[in-house]
Each structure stands twice: as C-alpha cells, then as structure tokens.
C-alpha cells in the first residue's frame, strides 16, 4: 500500500481522469516518481467503484483502495447501512474484507466492533480505512473461526460473509457451496454470540437453507433499486422452521414487506387485468411470497405462473412497480407488429415463450422509461398488456 496515493496532486490527477480506463493508465508511464502506473490504475479503479458503491468514501481523498476484486465482493454503502440498522453490538465480523460493513456497524450500531480478515494485504487496507475515518475498530489479521475459538469474548452478534468455494459452484445454491461451511461450525458460532448473521448470494435456495440451518429466525432479502444484492440469515439458539421473511427494496419509496415463511401458499385469486397491473419487486419475487403479497394489498393474480397482479385501486408505497393498463390483447405476432412495431417501449416478459431481447428484435422495439408492453400469460392465454408506469 502506497500512502503517496493520497498526495494532493495525485488525488487531483485521478479525479481529472476518473472516467478513464484503468487498464490504459496501467500501460502509461506514471507522472509521479513515487507512484507506479499499476498503483495509479488500482486506485483509479477503486475510486470508480466507490463513486457508485460507497459515495461517502469517494469524497474522502485519504482513502486508499485495495484491488478491484476485493471491492466487487463488498456490500454497497446502502446495503451495509441496512444491515447496521438490524444487527446489534458488540459485533465481530469474521470475514471482514475491506471493512465497509464494519464501518456501517461502527457508525450506526455500536462502537464495539471487531474486524477479522485472513488476507494480510487486505487487512492493511482496512486498518488504514478505519484510521482515516477515525473509527476505533479493532482489526485483526487472522482466520475468523480460529480467532473466535481462541478469544474469551462473547459477542451479541457474529456476522460473516462466506465466499463461494469454486468457480464451478458460482451459483452457490446451497449452504455447503460456501467456505467456511456454516453447518460445520454452527455450534461454535451460537456458543460465542446471541445471534449470528450470515450473508449469502441471492441464488441460495431459501427452503433448503431453512431446513439445513434449523435456527433461522429471520431472512432479509435485500434489493437495491429492484436488484437483489444479498440474502441475510439471522440465527439464534432456538430451533425454528418458519422464520419471518423481510423483503427490502432500498433506494426506493416502497414499503418493507414481511411475512412468516409457513404462510406461503399457492392459494390465491385470479382475475383478468383490471385498472392497474402490479409487478412485485425483485425481493418479493425471490421470496415467492405471492399469496401473502396478494392478501396484504388486496390483489388478484392474472395467471398462476405469471406472478403479475391486478387491482382497481392501489395503496401508496406498494412494494413493486405499478402500471395503469391502457390496452389488453391476445398475442398475435402480426397484430403486435402492426400496432407496436418500430416504436419505443419498456418490455417485460413473464411466463412467456420469447425473451425480452427476442421480442425487441422481432418487433424492432426501442427503449422507453414509462410506456411498457408486458408479454405474458393471462388465465392460460398468451397476451400483450400495454401499461403506463405510475
């Protein structure tokens, strides 16, 4: 780690070229005698990620960023803040990484935070981050589980973000696809803390995770601007097979939607599209809690497998996108081409035989932010619904 990266002239240079390709910078001669081209490229890549993912850090010229791969695996500032609003201290993060989550814990939850990171280089960057922000976070270069076994401390909360084992397991559908395998160390974790929080990929199967972990009290499906970023599992010492599911869509005005896992049922009502079409947000789609969503907001499904809903009235803050229905027609390619071809629409497919890309190519459809075409199934029949986003 080169502290000359925080020199005033270096920071000014990097901000001036903030839109440049870091690979191009790495191939050029550095204009600074004490900073190499590769170091400039790494810092530039870090600043570009921070600008979108951790805007508060981007504004601080004293931050030095680790390699890009370490930042890509890190929670966003928004997601970290959400976790900090739920997790109580004292907290230990066993897979601390660059330390974004620990910073959020320290800022929002408590001042007693322990950060453990196995990679010595990455832990150095983290220590520098904490020092720069003047956060009294205890940082340790160690294996998190080994450190936990050896410490005499008992924590209110343990947090860990296990990594996927191999590229062949990139989808990480099950708990055993992660390292460390929480199933092997669950007793240790629950002996050392009152609650354990585990972050996993959105791909992990919820039903399987609940059955395997057994002690799950809450599951938080965290989306940011309608893209699911992570799933948080809260465990404690009591056995539970019906945790409360929290569906969260950050950086929107949508309400948090929650329901008990055992209330999920295929039972719901079906109706032809009425005044409004409602598309549940990505977190609810992941949860599969469609029957509870329907009951909560007085909605009807338009088809068993489309996962689109309809209603004559809409509550403010409903957790999803709402469209005023303009037209409904059977899907007939010639008719669609004549009526909508060579125009601009947002395109959504649900339970439909063609993809969005195929439909755009087939009917030469451009993009639009508010005028949408839904290609879907309505009561078993392929249909096209035109809607205006509200």
Residue % of the chain over a pLDDT of 70:
98
Q: State in Å, rounded, how far the first CA of the chain is from the last one.
A: 49
Is 157 strand, coil or helix? strand
State the sign of the Cα–Cα–Cα–Cα dihedral 270, 271, 272, 274: negative
Report d(CA 336, CA 70) in Å as an integer: 47
Kindly give, in sequence order, each residue whose CB lies less than 8 Å from that of residue 49, ignoring residues fewer than 6 positions away: 65, 68, 71, 72
Report d(CA 344, CA 259) in Å as an integer: 38
Report d(CA 305, CA 76) in Å as an integer: 33
- pLDDT band at 27, cuts 50/70/90? very high
Tell me the mean pLDDT in the region 114-141.
97
- pLDDT band at 233, cuts 50/70/90? very high
| Cα 245-148-110 angle, rounded to 5 deg | 60
CA of residue 385 relative to chain centroid, distance: 29
On the question of pLDDT at 168 being above 50, the answer is: no
- pLDDT band at 171, cuts 50/70/90? low
> Taking a C-beta distance cutoff of 8 angstroms, is the pair 354, 378 a contact?
no
On the question of pLDDT at 173 being above 80, the answer is: no
Long-range pairs for 292-300: beta carbons < 8 A, 24 or more residues apart: 292/257, 292/259, 292/263, 292/264, 293/257, 293/319, 294/268, 294/269, 296/257, 296/259, 300/268, 300/269, 300/270, 300/271, 300/274
The pLDDT tens digits for 49-100 are 999 999 999 999 999 999 999 998 899 999 999 999 999 999 999 999 999 9
Report d(CA 360, CA 386) in Å as an integer: 15
Report d(CA 217, CA 185) in Å as an integer: 18
Kindly give, in sequence order, each residue whose CB lies less than 8 Å from that of residue 187, ignoring residues fewer than 6 positions away: none
pLDDT at 267: 65
pLDDT at 164: 74
> Virtual CA dihedral for 264, 163, 120, 128, nearest 10 degrees?
-40
E strands of the chain, at which residues?
A: 91-93, 113-117, 138-141, 155-160, 163-164, 178-179, 193-200, 216-224, 227-235, 244-250, 257-260, 276-280, 300-301, 309-311, 320-330, 346-350, 371-378, 381-389
pLDDT at 163: 86
pLDDT at 170: 56
User: Parallel, antiparallel, or unpaired: how do β-strands 91-93 and 381-389 relate?
Assistant: unpaired
pLDDT at 245: 97
Q: What are phi and psi of 109, to 5 degrees?
A: -105, -60
- pLDDT band at 169, cuts 50/70/90? very low
Residue 331: CB atoms within 10 A of its CB come to 17
Residue 365: CB atoms within 10 A of its CB come to 20
> Taking a C-beta distance cutoff of 8 angstroms, is the pair 258, 284 a contact?
no
pLDDT at 240: 80
Report d(CA 319, CA 387) in Å as an integer: 18
Tell me the mean pLDDT in the region 369-389.
96
pLDDT at 174: 81
Mean pLDDT for all residues in the chain: 94
> Taking a C-beta distance cutoff of 8 angstroms, is the pair 110, 88 a contact?
yes
Least confident among 40-44, 246-250, 314-318, 327-331: 314-318
The pLDDT tens digits for 277-310 are 999 999 999 999 999 999 999 999 999 889 999 9
C-alpha distances (whole Å) from 335 to each of 338, 354, 390 are 5, 16, 26
């Amino acid at each position: 780690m080169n502290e000359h990266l925080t020199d005033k002239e270096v920071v000014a240079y990097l901000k001036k070229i903030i839109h440049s390709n870091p690979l191009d910078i790495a191939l050029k001669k550095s204009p600074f005698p004490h900073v190499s081209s590769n170091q400039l490229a790494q810092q530039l890549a870090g600043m570009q990620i921070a600008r979108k993912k951790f805007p508060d850090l981007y504004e601080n010229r004293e931050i030095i960023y680790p390699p890009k791969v370490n930042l890509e695996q890190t929670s966003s500032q928004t997601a970290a803040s959400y976790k900090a609003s739920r997790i109580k201290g004292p907290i230990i993060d066993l897979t601390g990484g660059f330390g974004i989550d620990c910073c959020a814990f320290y800022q929002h939850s408590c001042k007693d935070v322990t950060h453990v990171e196995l990679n010595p280089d990455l832990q150095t960057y983290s220590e520098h981050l904490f020092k720069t922000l003047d956060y009294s976070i205890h940082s340790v270069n160690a294996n998190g589980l080994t450190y936990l076994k050896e410490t005499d401390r008992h924590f209110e909360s343990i947090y860990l973000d296990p990594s996927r084992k191999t590229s062949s397991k990139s989808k990480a559908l099950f708990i055993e696809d992660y390292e460390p395998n929480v199933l092997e160390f669950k007793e240790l974790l629950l002996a050392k803390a009152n609650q354990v929080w585990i972050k996993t990929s959105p791909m992990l199967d919820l039903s399987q995770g609940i059955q395997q972990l057994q002690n799950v009290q809450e599951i938080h499906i965290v989306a940011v601007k309608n893209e699911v970023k992570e799933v948080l599992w809260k465990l404690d010492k009591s056995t539970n097979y019906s945790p409360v599911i929290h569906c969260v869509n950050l950086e929107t005005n949508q309400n948090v939607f929650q329901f008990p896992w055992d209330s999920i049922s295929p039972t719901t009502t079906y109706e032809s599209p009425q005044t409004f079409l409602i598309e549940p947000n990505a977190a609810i789609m992941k949860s599969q809690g469609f029957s509870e969503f329907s009951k909560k907001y007085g909605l009807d499904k338009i088809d068993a497998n489309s996962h689109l809903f309809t209603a004559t009235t809409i509550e403010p803050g409903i957790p999803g996108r709402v469209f005023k229905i303009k037209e409904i027609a059977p899907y007939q390619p010639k008719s669609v081409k004549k009526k909508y071809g060579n125009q601009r629409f947002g395109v959504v497919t649900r339970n439909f035989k063609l993809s969005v890309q195929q439909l755009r190519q087939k009917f030469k459809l451009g993009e639009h932010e508010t005028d949408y075409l839904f290609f879907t199934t309505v009561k078993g029949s392929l249909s096209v619904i035109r809607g205006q986003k509200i």
